[in-house]
Structure 1
Amino acid sequence: MNEKSGMFHNMGETQIKKIIHAAKCSVFFINESQRVTLQDIGRVDEIRKWAEEEKAQITEMEMVFQFRCNGSDGYLAWLDHTLEIQDTANFDMVDIDYDIRILDSPEKMQELIIERNRTSHNRARILVCYCWN
């Protein structure tokens, strides 16, 4: 989410306030360790601040399962360790049913995905992300 609306994120009020003000019920899924860009906003305390200003009822819940990663706490621990979010005991992916590779070309990756999907019922995926130091 952006601090301001408009094509260049320079107009109007914060998008958090606009969403809370406009909707009967707003639901925000937040992982404060992840952002798409460095300019993204949406920390819990900021959402809480705008909800209080708009006199909105606040209910906070914690998601304990992530089915997108086979519901694997081991994978999530490995990811936190790899991304240096926090040190965990799972740093080697042992006993986790994933095939994660770094390849030299997008073409090679596409070939492997197509090959794997022939035997895995189309469960292989290409994932991308933004990266910065």
Structure 2
Amino acid sequence: MPDTFTITQLAEEFSITPRAIRFYEDQHLIKPAREGMNRVYSYRDRARLKLILRGKRLGFSLAEIKEFLDLYEADRTQVEQLRQLRSAVTERMEQLQGQLSDLMVTLDELRDIEAQVLAALAVKGVDAAG
């Protein structure tokens, strides 16, 4: 694996736009070096970008992601980072579990409504598909 990457290489690797990468720079989540007018991303920048995208996919805000990344800079042992991450992950799982419960209730209600509609159509002698 190369020691440095271009914005195009990272965008292609992670299936995102260069604009998205620049946005993460603007948010101070990654800090590429410069060679003239070109951005040069290190292996560290690549790893941080991978963590950013994973955090977003899991539903964490950019502020939360930045906090996790900044904790690594403050404590190289990663103890505090791991504690905070565990707490955030637990909270996120609880949120998702609540959403899943709400979705299950909604699906049950929709199934009930569908059954009522089908029954009403059958009483009228109408085919539900037509």
Same topology, TM > 0.5: no
TM-score (norm 2): 0.21
Between Structure 1 and Structure 2, the one with more helix by share is 2
